[in-house]
Amino acid sequence: MKAVGASMATTAVSPAGPGVSPRAPVSAPGPRRRRRAWVVGGAVLVLVCALGSAYWWSQTSGRVAVLAVATDVPAGRVLTDRDVRTVQVAADATVPLVAAGQRQEIVGRTAAVPLAAGTLLSPQMLGTPVPPEAGQAVVAVSVDPGRFPPSLTAGSTVTVVATGATGAGAPTTGPTTTSQPGEPGQRWPGIVLASAPAADGRGGAVVTLRMAAADATDVAAAGPVALVERHPGEN
């Protein structure tokens, strides 16, 4: 009896079954890939912070905190803490304003002139009020940007010119005008007692004037006006 030698070949069988190739193992993200993600995220965060800082600087640079009038204050009344508020305005060394840090010094002072809400406070507005002489009156007017000389100071001689008819229909009380207050072209002479930028930051001003009592009443009813500075000796 012949012994037949059978050769045996060993074949690797996939665990998934015959005929199926084994799947290559999936490797976890390496440390290098994770570090790259952190670097990209950090760069984005730095960029966002830089842009935010640049925007904040552009909005606040060159601005200072000053005091503005919060409520209408008549001349002669003592200022309280509720009468003033802090606002941020563009710095201008030529305009005398009261720094926000002087709030405690201002509270308790007397308004020398009528203070309209929204007016930026200046030192010349405070002190013992001087009552107008007989036949004179004090009036505050709000003037739009470009309607007054920036050089106006206390003592300036001006002419108030009506630029619109918003006050038309109001009764005329002064003998110096024959038309209704507010008709374009009407003029009234006056003296500047105080001038301060409006708190809205748009470039306007609130100007306190001394003038004839009848003219002051007309100016108060006139609506939009412009101020023309004149030589003190001119009529």
163-193 pLDDT tens trace: 985 443 334 444 444 556 678 889 999 999 8
**The pLDDT of residue 38:** 63
Counting beta carbons within 10 angstroms of the beta carbon of residue 148, is it exposed (0 to 12), middle (13 to 18) or buried (19 or more)? buried
Low-confidence ranges of the chain (pLDDT < 50): 1-10, 12-14, 54, 57-58, 60, 166-177
- pLDDT for res 119: 86
The pLDDT, as a whole number, for residue 129 is 74
CATH number of 63-230: 3.90.1210.10
Per-residue model confidence (pLDDT) at position 28: 54
Give the domain ranges of the chain. Answer: 63-230
Task: Write down how long the chain is.
Answer: 235
